[in-house]
A and B are shown apart, each in its own frame.
Chain A
Amino acid sequence: MEYWKLIGIAIIVVGFTLKFDVLAVVLTAGIVTGFVAGINFYDILTILGQSFVNNRLMSIFLIIFPVIAIIERYGLKERAGQLIGRIKNASAGKILSLYMVIRSIASALNIRIGGHVQFIRPLILPMSEAAAENSKCEKLTENQTDHLKGISAAVENYGNFFAQNCFPAASGVVLIQGTMAELGYDVTLQSIATAAIPIAVITVLLTFIQVWIYDKRLKKSIVKEKR
């Protein structure tokens, strides 16, 4: 039965929904799927191990932790707060909008700036948090902070994902070209990169709207709390 191969997906969905231990869920899904597809245990372990080692680049952010450890202990957030305090009318939304523009342009030019560990935690979040507290004139509530963290991380993803294919040699573009060529469609890298522009621009505009709404809500909450 071919359909049994989908059991791994079911294990993931059920396991994640019921909040079982994530590592155990993922490993179980892999092993069970492998068994159902008739792959022997030795090969399953080899595939898991090999792919894990080859994907170490995904965890390269560990190497940045010591830097963050130092600059946070020596007052990074406090300083960011003071600096933003001097800029009039700075708001969390404006800072995030500016980051979105820079991040998207960099991404479209295949310049690797950005990252949650490299940029959001040490720079963008402290700055937007300070700006938000500034415009609110007091500390953010726990929920407001959490929401701001979510949006800051999201903006990093938006800029990263939707602008990257504007670069003709981006890995996504190369993959599209290769797949289409294999299917018998002769498409060029340049034409794919051009076709990727509209969605990149639309995503930047939509981001402006989302962060503008955050600013608005924050303003509203001030009025409410003051009543």
Chain B
Amino acid sequence: MAELLQWTPEIFYSLCGLVSINAAVRALKNTKAKFGTFLFWLILGIIFIFGKIIPYMMTGVLLIFMGLLTVTHQVKMGEFAEIDETKKKEASERVKNKIFIPAALIGIMALVMSFVRIDGKPLDGATMIGVACLVSLSSAFIICKPKVKETREDTARLLMQVGAACLLPQLLGALGAVFTKAGVGEVIASIISSIFPTGNIVIGVLLYCLGMVIFTMIMGNGFAAFSVITVGIGVPFVIMQGGDPVVVATLGMTSGFCGTLLTPMAANFNIVPCAVLETKDKWTVIKAQIPMAIVLIIIHVVLMLTLAF
């Protein structure tokens, strides 16, 4: 059983891979950059399906090949026919409010799945979302009775709209791994502690909060920034000056999240949603978050000064 559970996420990653390969096949109908676009989505599909089997070094080579494809503009959006508005209206009259069932089922099923325990352990994220999606997809087929061909067409369009940006979150995660291995964080922490003197609480709190914000912006991930900046700045500049470790560390982490709101490096939160929602400007989400992030940073500094001392 445990062995089987270990492989269930792979089933759902394989389904993701099929979505990508579906786009690859559709790319063969492209008028522009037919072959490059085909290869791009095909390789991504292969990495999704066989990621655990292919040697990691080979995956690294494939990633670089994909980078070469995008940098030479060999990956393009295909041409798709607009969906007829009147047909949509008709369909909407026929399906009525039942259309919300599949939409709601994704969330509801994911919630239900999160309570499932096998051998006392919760399911992994991929299985949870994967099962929820399969249930939702079946309900959508029963309720809407779509043609498979048009669903494949629409799915390819959705993925091509997101485009190469869909690789970005994973790739930035990989970059973070290289940074960690190279010891980038330690260098930054040592620079900061060599410039600023310890002893002043206000300067210390400002340095820690802003350090978390800026380093999270660079790494695109508050978790990655946390250990480095807390060791390098949080402890010597704030906690050793009398700050309560629990409050300081907790607020330090969420200061980092303010940085997440501001950076394109957190692609899965800020850039991919622009593609998913089809915004005109790919900075729309970050722009909406800037005022909130600034206010929250100020509040973090004030809270840390008042609650931790």
Binding site for B on A (CB under 8 A): 2-3, 5-6, 8-9, 12, 16, 20-24, 26-27, 29-30, 33-34, 36-37, 39, 42, 44-76, 78-79, 83, 110-114, 116-123, 125, 142, 146-147, 149-154, 156-158, 160-162, 165, 171-172, 175-176, 179-180, 183, 185, 187, 191-192, 195-196, 198-199, 202-203, 206-207, 210
Collect the chain B residues with CB atoms within 8 Å of residue A206's CB: 292, 295-296
Contact, CB under 8 Å: B154 / A69: yes
B158 close to A65 (CB less than 8 A): yes
Which residues of chain A come closer than 8 Å to B173, judged between CB atoms? 51-52, 54-55, 58
Complex-state Cα separation, A52 to B64, whole angstroms: 12
Point out the residue from B13, B154, B177, B246 that lies within 8 Å of A51, measured CB to CB: B177
* Size class of the contact patch on chain B: 35 or more
Candidates A162, A175, A185, A207; contact of B254 at CB < 8 Å: A162
Give bound CA distance, A55 to B180, whole Å.
16
In the assembled complex, the CB of A191 is this many whole angstroms from the nearest CB of chain B, namely: 5
Give Cα distance in the complex from A116 to B24, angstroms.
Answer: 24
Residue of B nearest to A45 (CB): B60
Give B35 Cβ to nearest chain A Cβ, in Å. Answer: 18
A69 surroundings in chain B (CB, below 8 A): 151, 154-155, 157-158
Q: Are B16 and A34 in contact (CB under 8 A)?
A: no
When distances are taken between beta carbons in the complex, the residues of chain B under 8 Å from A58 are 169-170, 173, 268
**Contact among A53, A67, A154, A191 for B47, CB-based, below 8 A:** A53
Q: Which residues of A contact B110 (CB under 8 A)?
A: 112-113, 118
Do A49 and B111 touch across chains, with their CB atoms under 8 A apart?
no
6 of the cross-chain contacts (CB-CB < 8 Å) are A26-B171, A48-B174, A53-B56, A78-B88, A112-B110, A146-B279
Closest 5 CB pairs of A and B: A75-B92, A45-B60, A49-B59, A37-B182, A69-B154
The chain B residue with its CB closest to the CB of A9 is B218
Contact of B223 among A53, A72, A175 (CB under 8 A): A175
Measured in the bound complex, the distance between the Cα atoms of B254 and A117 in whole Å is: 24
B242 within 8 A of A: no
A61 to B272, alpha carbons, bound, how many Å? 11
B6 is an interface residue with CB less than 8 A from chain A: no
A46 proximity list for chain B (CB < 8 A): 56-57, 60
Structural contact, A24 and B71, CB atoms closer than 8 A: yes
Q: Given A63-B12, A76-B99, A179-B226, are A42 and B57 also a contact pair (CB < 8 Å)?
A: yes
Nearest-neighbor residue (CB-CB) of A113 within chain B: B107
Q: Is B121 in the interface zone, CB < 8 Å from A?
A: no
Which of B's residues lie within 8 Å of A, judged by CB?
9, 12-13, 15-16, 19-20, 47-48, 51-52, 54-64, 66-68, 70-71, 83, 88-89, 91-93, 95-97, 99-100, 102-104, 106-107, 110-111, 114, 124-126, 128-130, 133, 136-137, 140-141, 143-144, 146, 150-151, 154-155, 157-159, 164-179, 181-184, 187-188, 190-191, 218, 222-223, 226-227, 230-231, 235, 239, 245-247, 249-251, 253-254, 257, 260-261, 264-265, 268-270, 272-274, 276-281, 284-285, 287-289, 291-292, 295-296, 299-300, 303, 307
- In the complex with contacts A3-B187, A112-B128, A142-B280, A196-B254 CB distance below 8 A: yes
- Least Cβ–Cβ distance between B173 and chain A, in angstroms: 4
| Chain B minimum-CB-distance residue to A53 | B51
> Is B253's CB under 8 angstroms from A176's CB?
yes
Give B130's nearest chain A residue, CB to CB. A63
Which residue in chain A gives the minimum CB-CB distance to B144?
A74
- CA–CA, A176 to B239, complex, Å? 14
Chain B residues contacting A22 (CB-CB under 8 Å) are 70, 164-165, 168
- Chain A residue nearest to B267 (CB atoms) is A22
Residues of chain B with a CB closer than 8 A to A153's CB: 270, 273-274, 277, 284-285, 288
Contact B129 A63 (CB under 8 A): yes
Known interface pairs A8-B179, A52-B173; A44-B60 also in contact (CB < 8 Å): yes
The smallest C-beta distance from B158 to any residue of chain A, in angstroms, reads 5
Tell me which of B16, B175, B274, B280 has the highest count of chain A C-beta atoms within 10 A of its own C-beta: B175
Closest to A21 in B: B71
